[in-house]
Structure formats: structure tokens, C-alpha cells
Amino acid sequence: MPWDGSLVISALHAAYASGATTPTEVVRAVHERLTAYAADVDPAVWIDVVPLDTLLERAAELERAHDGKDKPALFGVPMSVKNSIDVAGFKTTLACPDFAYVAEKTAPAVQRALDAGAILVGTTNLDQFATGLVGHRSPYGTPRSVFDKEYISGGSSSGSAVSVGAKLVSFSIGTDTAGSTRVPASFNGVVGLKPTLYSISTVGLVPACKTADCVTVLAPTVDDARQVYDVLRAFDPNDSLARPYDKLTSGLAPWRSEGIKFATPPAELLEVLSAPYAQLYKQAVDKLARGGLVNAEGFNYEPFEQANNMLYGSSIVAQRLVAFDDYLTAHGTSTMHPVVASIFAASSGFSAVRAYQDLFLLASYKRRVELEFEKADVLVVPSTVTHWKVAEVDEDPLGRNKILGSFTHFVNLVDLCAISVPAGTWTNPSGNEMPFGLTFIAPAGRDAELMRLAERFQKM
């Protein structure tokens, strides 16, 4: 049978194995798709696109190297990379032309994907300096939701999510500090895996908030996300924050096969949800209960909410001033996107005393969160609270960005892993079906179990 055009990894593997297609044919099709999508639908997805000739050379190289041999895990699989992660020979811009530099080395996470046979198609647009959850803060344009171009794509991994949602690539390597993978994944109907902190090397990632930054995977299915994560995950001794994943998981007792306990935020915090999101979230929670999961008793969401509130108005945000100190010294904020400039301005003025106070306060929340996870296996939250139109974000850029992170900001701050999966649709006023995302959250090291639970949920 001929290749049906699917970029799902298992489908590509099957098509390659049967001879239905080749990497050369796939990259031709992918390049044609992304060119048409940029011309006819959304010109703001990419910052750099690999030329077709280079794609064909890469495909031919893979075909020669693995002809008649076992294929590597990501053989012939097209991918994109968020343009805050270094790829040798490409500009790393963080959506700020004044900041841009040509990377000399490829980030280890990206290199592992390439070594496993993946084909880089291009680097994707993002909220400037990876600051934002809206995808609407870039001089390279505003990527739009693949479901309705009047609506935001979400950010900061905006182009990454759209490149997957529009079926231009099989997966994207993105980042997540405070929701930057989970929110755009939910807005574009794809899976967003925010794995355990430091389980994937962050070398070559320009940090937004170094202690909370995380390299992530956006993919069409949970199985695709799993396959990519298995390739990317590795201890990197050159990453000062890396930790051996096997040691982290070795002491964890496995979840029971039945009666997994789940917790949810309290009803008063869920009042922030739009009406369609509230209905879809309730349906998802009901589905979990019918599917054999058990509501956790006595679960206290307060430390999660308190940690969530720390992201803004605390010294934690001052980390971005450390990351971009040289740039700020040379350029200031005058050429930044005005909203991003205001955020940088608000990140200054914290004393060393305040920084330590916040550090200790966050540590106390982390300990309390650990205790709550003795009562529940998993926390289930809406991936975000509503879906704004681009014009609506313009009305209140800071306020409407902040509200999108109502259930995302705390996850990295208190060292949890998470996965956002599509969980239903709603109809917008234009009559278009729009996606809703549900996020499963668990302690560090529970990535595999979260992915199994997410797949189980989608089959319920």
C-alpha cells in the first residue's frame, strides 16, 4: 500500500519497512506542506527552514547508511526545534534579532535525535526570550492555532506546537519553564510532554529561568512523545543541573494497576475556567472516575497554588536578568517587544535577602507538595483556562497571559513532571471545533507512568 502521508512515528516506521515510501519522498512531501502552509495559512511558524536540497542530502545519507540494516529509533522522522536551542550553523535568536548568534555546536538533546536518524526541517518561532504563554510576542510574527487563525497558538513554544499540529513534522523539541509546552500543546490539539527536570540535557538551551527550564517534546500521540523522550533522555555530565534518571526512579514504588488515586484543584479555583473548558474538564474527571481511578481523600491543593503564585512578583523571575546580562548591558530593553521589555523591567530590584527568602519559601512549598503526593498518585488539571483570540490578548497582554498559567506555573518550581493530552473539543462562535487539553502531573521520575495513564485516559 502507498504511504498515506501520516507523520506519526509508528506509521512512518511501517511505511519505511514495507517500502511504501522513503525518507527522500517524505522530506519532499514535508517541504511541500510547510511551504504551502507558510504561504496560505500561517507565515509565522518558522524562523529558519532547512533548504530542500539539504533535506534531500540528509535523507539520502540516511538511506545509504542504513540500507539493509536495522534502522535507528527515529530513522527518517522529520522534526523541528524551538529557536532557543542551539543547532550548529543556525541562528539562535530567541525571537530577538539583536540577540541572535550563529550556534557553533548543536545542543546535546538535538544531537541525540539526529544521531537516532531524525531529520531537522527547521527552527520554530517563539515568544521573545521564551517569555510568555501566548505566542504573540515575536518580531517574526504571531503563529496561530491550527484550528482557527483568529486564536493564539500559545507559547512560548508556539511554532513548535503549530508545526506538529499542522502535520508539518512528526515532533518538535521545545522548552517549558512555566507552561510553555503544555499551553501551546493544548491549543493545537497535540501532546506536550514536560518531563522530569534535568532528565534531558539543557546544554545549548538559552535559559529563561535556569532552575526551572526543561527541554520538552511535542508530538501527535503519547506513543510518539515516549519514543522521542526515550532518545533524548540521558545524563549529561556537562550539564551542571543534570541528575541520573535511573537513580531518581530506582527507589520509586510502581503505581498499582487499579485504584490509582487522583486529585483535582478545589472548585473555587476552577471558577476561572471558561464555560466550555469547565464542562470539558468535568467530563474528563468523570471519565477518570468511571475508568477505575479513585478520588484522593484529604488532598490539600494550597501549596500548589502558593507555589504557582510565586512565579510573578518574586525574585525567581530575576533569573532572566542573569541569563541575558551581557545583552542587556549592550542593548538595554529598547529594541525588545514592548511587553517583554516591561517584564524584564519588573524582574529587577530584588535584594539578595529577598532572593534567599523566596528560595526558602519555595523549598517549603516543595516539601508540602511532596507530602500531598503521599495521598494521591497524580494531580489532574486543565492544561489552561480558556483560549483567547489574538485581538483579546492585545486588550490585556500581561493579564491574559498570566491567567493562562493558572494551573501550570508551579510544576517545574516544585519539581514535578507533566503531560498535556487532547481531551475533547468545543465549538467557537465561528463554528470551528477547538481543542481542550488535560494535564496529568506527578512527582519527578514518574514520566513513564504518566504517559501510560494518559494513553489509558484517551482510550476510556
Residue 317: pLDDT band with limits 50, 70, 90: confident
Can 84 be counted among the known catalytic residues? Answer: no
With a cut of 80, say whether residue 257 has pLDDT above it: no
The DSSP 8-state label assigned to residue 14 in this structure reads: H
User: Model confidence over 92-150: pLDDT tens digits?
Assistant: 999 999 999 999 999 999 999 999 999 999 999 999 999 999 999 999 999 999 999 99
Residue 1: pLDDT band with limits 50, 70, 90: confident
Cα distance between residue 362 and residue 212, in whole Å: 12
Secondary structure element (H or E) that encloses residue 269, with its range: helix 267-270
Active-site annotation holder among 180, 201, 383, 420: 180
Domains of the chain with bracketed CATH? 9-243 (3.90.1300.10), 247-418+432-459 (3.90.1300.10)
User: Model confidence over 54-97: pLDDT tens digits?
Assistant: 999 999 999 999 998 899 999 999 999 999 999 999 999 999 99
Mean pLDDT lowest for which of 145-159, 214-228, 315-329?
315-329
Mean of all residue pLDDT scores within the chain: 96
Measured CA to CA in angstroms, residue 402 lies from 150, 182, 339, 383 at distances of 20, 14, 12, 13
Mean pLDDT lowest for which of 46-60, 155-169, 288-302, 304-318?
304-318
With a cut of 80, say whether residue 447 has pLDDT above it: yes
User: Model confidence over 383-426: pLDDT tens digits?
Assistant: 999 999 999 999 999 999 999 999 999 999 999 999 999 999 99
Cα distance between the two ends of the chain = 31
Quote the pLDDT of residue 346: 87
Active-site annotation holder among 156, 158, 170, 186: 156
Quote the pLDDT of residue 313: 77
Nearest to 51 by CA among 124, 121, 140: 121
Can 180 be counted among the known catalytic residues? Answer: yes
User: Model confidence over 16-48: pLDDT tens digits?
Assistant: 999 999 999 999 999 999 999 999 999 999 999
Region of 207 please: left (phi>0), alpha (psi -120 to 50) or beta. beta
Contact 223, 185 (CB under 8 A): no
Cα distance between residue 383 and residue 189, in whole Å: 11
Quote the pLDDT of residue 320: 87
Instruction: Name the percent of the chain lying above pLDDT 90.
Output: 92
Quote the pLDDT of residue 256: 85
Quote the pLDDT of residue 160: 98
Quote the pLDDT of residue 258: 83
Quote the pLDDT of residue 267: 97
- In sequence order, the β-bridge partners of residue 442 are 417
Radius of gyration of the chain (CA): 21
To the question of pTM greater than 0.95 for the whole model, the response is: yes
Burial (CB < 10 A; 0-12, 13-18, 19+), residue 459, is exposed
Phi, psi of 53 (to 5 degrees): -60, -40
Can 156 be counted among the known catalytic residues? Answer: yes
